[in-house]
Amino acid sequence: MVAFRFKHVCLESFAISTPPTEVSSAEIEDRLSGVYQQLGIPFGTLERLTGIGSRRLWDASERPSGLGTNVVRQAIDNSGLADKDIRALFSCSVTRDFFEPATGCIIHRNLALPEDGIALDISNACLGFMDGLYFLGQLIESGIVKAGVVVSAEHTRVILDNAFKNILEGKDLPRDKLLRLLPTFTIGSGAVAYVLTHESISKTGHKILGGATRSATEHCDLCVGNTDYHLVDGPPLGPVMETESSKLIAAAAVLGQRTWKDASEALEWTKDDVDHIFCHQVGRQVNEAFYNTLGLDHTKEFTIYQNRGNLVSAACPTATAIGIEQKGIKQGDKIMMTGFGSGLNSLFLGIQW
């Protein structure tokens, strides 16, 4: 367990970017209809189990670095800071342009940010963005930098396309193999960026107070992707992700229970103190029973998965950004961000608005 408190870290601004192309769960199952019939899987299973009606995708010609550049530009502009003030940039998406150089370096170059700063990638499955907030918060708290930006630009079209290839071109696909591939189709694309500052230059005063993180790596084989970069096709039928959803979600609930205990002690919050919860958006599977195990109030959750799907590392921060705008969050409200990523890792952050 790693629990931490910040005294000087503020969430100054954010920006999100939504892909133009909407793909419904019904469209996905239409493409898989032959396999569904062969294996006796009822049409509508994907949306019924997950609650995801659609997700959005970028055009195949886009790159994570270009998408990340655009959303970082918007977040910095929203903050009112000058580019010279941004001394750290962490790109935290699962999808990247290359395995080297870091996508963060490309975004940094595109924006001509200062040389006397930090630019790098943080990779930790769906928890990457939350880890980026933690590490940038530590740099700000220690006084090393006064301001920085965390970004995830998830461009998941290639992963979905290759899941189709593996299912439709695979011979004698067993039912259990299909069930491990189907969670891939919950995934969507999107981009998000947060600017964090030291309180001495903050105009908002929205404090990131601290939290806790844990790593239950005995579960590292429950969700596995075989490549970690965007533009290369990889093994014979390209990058593929296989997930044992029920085991992963059950393990996440137990890990989350321990993480919430640590975070609540670090923040000195009870579950009744929390006004708003923004979770990693995987679908309907994160339900009331999941929250009962966690020890948090399910009714305080805000979700976007229904028409965006699982945005990978962009999921929790995008839900938070949209919820802040839609819920009319008031000064002093306490926000809990509950992040999870295959590995299995969790990181919970407390924010006071």
> What are the Cα distances from residue 108, in Å, to 3, 68, 70, 189?
30, 10, 11, 21
Single out the catalytic residue among 47, 62, 92, 126: 126
Please state the φ and ψ torsions of residue 351, each to the nearest 5 degrees.
-125, 135
Single out the catalytic residue among 27, 100, 268, 288: 100
Respond yes or no: is residue 279 known to be catalytic.
no
- 178 in Cβ contact with 38 (< 8 Å): no
**Polymer length in residues for the chain:** 353
State the SS3 of 23-47: EEHHHHHHHCHHHHHHHCCCCCHHH
Count other C-beta atoms under 10 Å from residue 83's C-beta. Answer: 12
Respond yes or no: is residue 126 known to be catalytic.
yes
Q: Which two tokens stand for residue 332?
A: 């002093």
What is the residue type of 239? P
Name residues whose C-beta falls within 8 Å of residue 13's C-beta, 6 or more positions apart in sequence. Answer: 75, 76, 78, 79, 80, 194, 195, 204
Longest CA–CA span in the chain (Å) reads: 63
Helix (H) or strand (E) holding 198: strand 190-198
Q: Which two tokens stand for residue 241?
A: 């992700």
Pairing of strands 345-352, 207-215: antiparallel
Cis peptide leading into 344, omega within 30 of 0?
A: yes
Point out the residues that are catalytic. Answer: 100, 126
